[in-house]
Amino acid sequence: MALLALPTLLPLAACLAALGAPWSEHWGHLFGVVLPGVAGNTALLMLLVVLQAGLLGSGWAWLTARYDFPGRGLLHAALLLPLALPGYVLGFVAIHLLDYAGPVQSAWREAGGGPQPLWQIRSLYGAALILGLTLYPYVYLMAYNAYRSIGRNTLDMAATLGQTAVFRRIALPLAAPWIAGGLLLVAMEVLADFGTVALFNVQTFTTAIYKSWFGLFALDAALQLASVLVLLALALMAVQRAVQRRGRMVQRGPGLPRRRLRGGAALAASGGAAGFVLLVVGLPLGLLLRWSLAHLSVELDPRYLEWLGRSLLLAGSAAALLTASALLAAYLERRQPGRRTLQLGARAATLGYALPGTLLAVGLYAPLAALENALADWVAPGWVTQSLVLLLLGYWARFMAVAHTPISQQLARVTPSIDEAARTLGVRGWRLLHRVHRPLISGALASAAALLVIDVIKEMPITLMLRPSGFDTLATRIFELTAEGEYERAALPALTIVLAGLVPVALLLRSGHGREDRAEPTPVPLAGRPGTEALHAA
Amino acid sequence: MQLELDGVAVHYGGRPVVSDVTLTLPDGDFGCLLGPSGSGKTSLLRAIAGFVDIAAGSIRVGGETLSRPGYSREPAQRGIGMVFQDLALLPHLSVADNIAFGLNRWPRAQRRERVAQMLALTGLQAHADHHPDALSGGQQQRVALARALAPQPRLLLLDEPFSSLDTALRLSLAEQIRAIVAETATTALLVTHDQQEAFALGRHVGVVDQGTLRQWASPYDIYHRPRARSVAEFIGDGVWLPGRVDAEGRVHTELGMLGPLAQAPGSAEVDVLIRPDDILHDDASPLSATICAKAFRGAQILYRLELPSGQALKTLVPSHHNHALGQPLGIRLEMEHVIVFPRSAPPA
C-alpha cells in the first residue's frame, strides 16, 4: 500500500523538504521579483475563472434542472461537452481567431475601426475566459445534481410561506455546498493548469516552474517554487474537506418538478443554450476540422502516426499499470477492512489529483536525478531520468485516484456476504473470482481504464517535463507548434485529443446520469476528482 | 378561519381522483381526513393549498373563494400554512431561521419576537441555533409546525405528518401538536391513514374512500353511526351478521332480535354491523360460540369466535378471562345502536 502511494509521496516530500532547504543563489531573485508577480497572477486568474465557472455552471444547471424546453435533454448533454476540450486547445483556437492578426480584428480594421487593437487576447483575461469556458462543467454537474435532489415538498413549503424567489431562497442556498465543491475542483484545475497559461503567456506557478527548469536550468529554483505551490494545493484540499462535511441533502418524497417553458421563454432557453454550446464547442471544433483538412496532406505523415502511437503507448501502459495496481490495492483493503495504514495509503495515493503536474514532475525528477548521480558509478546515465519509467511514475502520482476511486468503490459493493452466498452454493477460488467478481467489477475497471487513457493523452506538463528528450507525443507537439504560432498545424493533433476526450462524456451520459428519479452514481468524468464523493449523497 | 368545500372535484390527466367533496370545518376546529393510501385525501389537501387546480366546485376560506374551475389563487397568496409528510426542513438553516423563513417581509423586531414566541410555544428555545439534523424526530416535527404557524396562517394543513415516526411516539406527539394548534386557535385539517391518530386529534373526521368523502362527522358518530358500508369496514373491527327486517322494523338474527330500527333500510335482507364491544362475555348466557383464534392485547383479549352456523364474530374481553382455543365461550349481545346496511352480494 505504501508502494501505491510512493510516487505521490516522494514529490510531496521533496517539495516540502525544499521549503526548509538553504536558500539557493536564485532565491533572492525568486522571492523579490518572480514570486509576487506569479502569486498575484495565479490569484487573479483563479478568482476570475472561479467567478465565471460559478456563474455559468450554476446558471445553466438551474435552467436544465428546473425548466423543460425543446431539446432540453440534448442540451444538457451538450453543456457537458467542454469537458472534452483541453484549455490549451480551445485557447489556441481562440487566439488564432481573436488575436490582432486574426480574422475578427482584421475585419474590424477593414470596416474602418481604426488600428488600435480591440482587445488583447493573449493576456491573463484571455486565459481566464478560456479556462472558465472549459472548466465550468465541473460546477454544472455538481449544481445540476444538487438542484435535482431538491424535493417538490421543499418548493411547496416555500410557496405556502409566501416565498416565490425559489432560486435565491431555496435552490442556491441548498446547492451551495455542492457548488462550492465544484468551484474548488475548478480552483485546483486552475492551479494545475500549464498548457493554457503557457499559451497565453501568463506567468503563474506552473509556467514559472517550467521556465526555471527548462529555461534557466535552475532545478533548485523550480523545486522552491513548487514548494510554495504545494502549500497552496494542500490549502485548497483542506478547504475542500471542510466544505464536504457540510450540508447533506436527503430527499424523500417526490423530486423537483420541472416547469414547462412556452413561447418566447422556451425559444430563449433553447436558443441561448444551443448558441452558447455552438460558440464554445461547435465553432472551435469546426475550425479545428477545417484546419486539419487544409493541412492534412502535410501533417498526416509517418511522424504524425509516430506521435499518435507514442501517445497511445503511454496512455495504454499507464492505464494497464494503474488499473492493475488499483485493483490489487482494492483487494488488499477488502481483505483487511479498516486497517489504518491501508486507509492512509489509499488516501495519500489519491492525493495526486490535487497536486499540479508541474509540481509532481519537479518533485519526482529532483530526488531521482540526485539518486542517479549518487549511483553514477554503477548505472548508466539517464537510466531513470531518460526513461519512460519516470514518465509512468509521474502519471501514477497524478492519476492514481482516477483508477483507485471507482475500482475500490465498486469492489466495496461486492460484500463479504456475496462471497459467502457463493461459497454455500459451492463456488470457490478462481471460479468465485471469475463467475462472481469479474462481472461485478469489470465495468468499473473498463471505465477507469478508459478515463486513464484520455487523461494521459491530454496531460501536458508531466509529459513535457518527464519524457526522454525528443520523445514527442500529440500533447507535446501541440505545445511546440502553438509556441511557434503554428496554430493551424496543431489542429490535427488537437482534434485527435478532443475526439478521444468525448469518450468520458459519452460514458457519463450512458451511465444514465441526468435521467429522472434514478440513483445517480458519481459522474464518470469526475471519478477520482476529490470531493465528488459528495454526489453520492445527492 | 372557516374552511368550506363545496362539490370539489380534482382530476389528474383527465382521470378523477377526487369527486364531489363537500364539507365545512368551522373556525378554530381541528379536522382529520382519514383514508387508505391512494384514496385521494392528499390530492384534496393539495387542492386546498393551491398546488392542484380543481375541476368542479369551490374552495372557500373565511368566506373568500380561493379555488373554482378556471381560477386558482397562487399558493403563496393563500395564507395557508402546511406541514409536509417529509417536513421539508431546510438543512442549511438553524431552527430559528427555519421558523423565520416565511417572515422575511416582517419588520426585523417583530420577526424576532414572533420567532421567540414560536420557539416558546413549541418548547424549542434550547434548540434555536441548532440545525435540524441535530434534532430528534419529534423536535423536527415541532420545527415544521412552528414554521407553518409563524406567519399566522388562516388555515393549517398537515399531510401525514407523523408517518415517519414510530408508533410509540406518534400519539404523544399528536397530543402535543393538538395542544400547540389549539393555543394559536388556528383552524387545522390533517390527513392520515391512521384511525387512532384521526380519532385522537379531530373534532371532525372525514372518511375518504376512492376519491369521495363517505362521511364527515364526529369521531363518535364515525365509529358508532357509520353512514356507509365502506366507513364501517374501514373503521374499527367488526363483522357483518345477516338479518331479516320485519314489518315493525325489528331485525331478526342468529343472535336474537334487534331494534326496532329508527329508519327502514332499503331491503328486508340486511347485514348488521357487530363491533367486538357489542358482544359481551357472559358465562350465564344461553348463547355460546367456539373460540377459533385469540390475540392477547394486554388489558384485553380479542377472541375470534364461530357460531354453529359458521358465522364469525369478534369480541373484546378483559384479559383475565383467559380461555383456550376450541373452547365454547358464553356471549351476550348488547347493542346501543343497531347499524344495518342492505345485504351486499357475497364476494365473488
pLDDT tops 50 at residue A536: no
Whether the pLDDT of residue A250 is over 60: the answer is no
**Inter-chain residue contact A176 with B92, CB threshold 8 Å:** yes
pLDDT band at A242 (very low <50, low <70, confident <90, very high): confident
Residue A538, pLDDT > 50, answer no
Report pLDDT digits (tens) over B229-251: 888 888 888 889 888 888 888 88
- Chain B residues near residue A174 by CB distance under 8 angstroms: 90-92
Considering B177, B203, B232, which residue would you say is the last residue of a domain? B232
**Do residues B326 and B224 share a domain?**
no
**Contact in structure between A474 and A497 (CB atoms under 8 Å):** yes
Q: Are residues B61 and B139 in the same domain?
A: yes
What Å distances lie between residue B19 and B12, B58, B64, B222, CA to CA? 12, 12, 21, 20
**What's the pLDDT score for residue B152?**
93
Given a cut of 90, whether residue B99 has pLDDT beyond it is yes
pLDDT grade, residue A93 (50/70/90)?
A: very high
Q: How confident is the model at residue B348 (pLDDT cuts 50, 70, 90)?
A: very low
Domain boundary among B232, B249, B265: B232
Residues 6+ apart with CB under 8 A from A403: A319, A322, A323, A325, A326, A448, A449, A452, A528
Q: Residue B42: inside a domain, yes or no?
A: yes
Grid coordinates representing A120 are: 488583447
Best probe of the A interface among B84, B104, B111, B164, by most A CBs < 10 A, is B84
**Is A153 at the interface with chain B, CB within 8 A?**
yes
Per the CB < 8 Å rule, is A174 touching B91?
A: yes
For A155, A307, B194, the CA distances from B84, given in Å and listed in that order, are 11, 62, 16
Is the same domain home to B127 and B242? no
Do B246 and B194 share a structural domain?
Answer: no
Partner residue facing B92 (CB), from A157, A160, A174 = A174
Q: How far apart are CA B130 and CA B144, in angstroms?
A: 14
Share of chain A above pLDDT 70, in %: 90
pLDDT over 90 at B149, yes or no: yes
Output the pLDDT for position A258.
92
Question: Of A46, A395, A364, A402, which is closest to residue A232 (Cα–Cα)?
Answer: A46
Determine contact, residues B318/B277, Cβ cutoff 8 Å.
no
Residues A80, A88: Cα–Cα separation, whole Å: 18
**Would you list the domain boundaries of chain A?**
39-252+265-536
Indicate which of A150, A157, A243 best probes the interface with B, i.e. most B CBs within 10 Å of its own CB.
Answer: A157
A157 vs B: CB within 8 A: yes
Q: Which amino acid, residue A331?
A: Y
From chain A, the residues in CB contact with B101 under 8 A are: 158, 161, 163, 169
**Helices marked H in A245-356:** 263-277, 283-294, 296-299, 302-335, 340-349
Q: Domain boundary residue among B201, B232, B263? A: B232
Find residue A132's DSSP bridge partners: none
Share of chain A residues as helix, strand and coil, in percent rounded to the nearest 5: 75, 0, 25
Using alpha carbons, list the distances in angstroms from residue A436 to A419, A433, A442.
Answer: 8, 6, 11
> Does B93 share its domain with B221?
yes
Three-state SS at A433: helix
Q: Are strands B288-296 and B256-258 parallel, antiparallel or unpaired?
A: unpaired
Indicate if B56 and B140 belong to the same structural domain. Answer: yes
Residues of B in contact with A251 (CB under 8 A): 86
Residues of B in Cβ contact (< 8 Å) with A163: 76, 101-102, 104
In a domain, B94, yes or no: yes
B269 lies in the same domain as B163:
no
SS3 label, residue A167 = helix
- Concatenated DSSP letters for A191-223? HH--HHHHHTT---HHHHHHIIIIIS--HHHHH
Q: Is B80 at the interface with chain A, CB within 8 A?
A: yes
Q: Is B37 on the interface with A (CB under 8 A)?
A: no
Predicted complex ipTM exceeds 0.85: no
Top-confidence residue, A24 or A306 = A306
Amino acid (one-letter) located at B267 = S
B86 touches chain A (CB under 8 A): yes
Q: How confident is the model at residue B228 (pLDDT cuts 50, 70, 90)?
A: confident
Pick the residue from chain A with its C-alpha nearest to B146.
A161
How many whole angstroms separate alpha carbon A39 and alpha carbon A32? 12
- Tell me how many degrees the CA angle B299-B305-B310 measures, rounded to the nearest 5: 170
Kindly tell me the burial class for residue B105, based on how many C-beta atoms sit within 10 Å of its own C-beta (0-12, 13-18, 19 or more).
exposed
Question: Closest to B86 (Cβ–Cβ): which among A158, A160, A252?
Answer: A252
> What does DSSP say about strands B188-192 and B30-34: parallel, antiparallel, or unpaired?
parallel
Mean pLDDT of B3-21: 92
Domain CATH for B21: 3.40.50.300
The pLDDT, as a whole number, for residue A423 is 85
Could you write out the DSSP letters of every residue in B23-79? Answer: EEE-TT-EEEEE--TTSSHHHHHHHHHTSS--SEEEEEETTEEEEETTEE--GGGS-
Q: Give the whole-angstrom CA distance, residue A371 versus residue A375.
A: 6
Secondary structure letter of residue B301 according to DSSP: E
| Domain match, B228 and B255 both | no
Tell me, what's the pLDDT at A519? 35
pLDDT of residue A443: 83
Spell out the alpha helix ranges (H) of chain B. Answer: 41-49, 95-99, 108-121, 137-149, 167-184, 195-201, 219-224, 229-234
Q: What is the C-alpha to C-alpha distance for residues A455 and B56, in angstroms, rounded to an integer? A: 61
**Residue range B77-102: average pLDDT?**
91
- pLDDT tens profile A358-382: 999 999 998 888 888 888 788 777 7
**CATH number of the domain enclosing B308:** 2.40.50.140
> In terms of DSSP bridges, do strands B155-159 and B64-68 run parallel, antiparallel, or are they unpaired?
unpaired
In a domain? residue B347: no
Domain region containing B285: 238-342
Angle at A111 between CA A108 and CA A113, to 5 degrees: 60
Shared domain for B107 and B209, answered yes or no, is yes
Are residues B208 and B323 both part of a single domain?
Answer: no
Contacts with B86 from chain A: Cβ below 8 Å: 151, 153, 251-253
* Whether pLDDT at A111 is above 90: no
d(CA B340, CA B265): 7
Quick one: B56 and B88 in the same domain? yes
Instruction: Check if CATH label 1.10.3720.10 holds for domain A39-252+265-536.
Output: yes
Number of A/B CB contacts below 8 angstroms equals 78
Of chain A, the percentage scoring pLDDT greater than 90 comes to: 42
Which residue on chain B is closest to A156 by alpha carbon?
B51
More confident residue, B333 or B109: B109
Across the range A157-166, mean pLDDT stands at 90
- Flag whether pLDDT at B151 surpasses 90: yes
Could you give the strand order of the β-sheet that contains B256-258, starting from the edge strand earlier in sequence?
Answer: B256-258, B251-253, B239-245, B269-274, B340-342
* SS3 state of residue B19: strand
Are B175 and B242 found together in one domain? Answer: no
Distance CA(A347)–CA(A333), nearest Å, equals 12
Q: Are B17 and B134 in contact (CB under 8 A)?
A: no
Query: From CA A306, how far away is CA A471, in angstroms rounded?
Result: 10
In this structure, what DSSP letter does residue B304 have? E
Q: Which residues of B touch A253 (CB under 8 A)?
A: 84-86
Q: Which three cell numbers stand for residue B215?
A: 362521511
Give the count of alpha carbons within 13 A of B77, CB side only.
7
Say if B323 falls within a structural domain. Answer: yes
| Count of domains forming chain B | 2
Per-residue pLDDT band at A524 (split at 50, 70, 90): very low
Residue of A nearest to B78 (CA): A160
Note the pLDDT tens digit of each residue in A200-210. 999 999 999 99
Helix axes A474-483, A87-98, angle to 10 degrees: 30
Average pLDDT over residues A152-173: 91
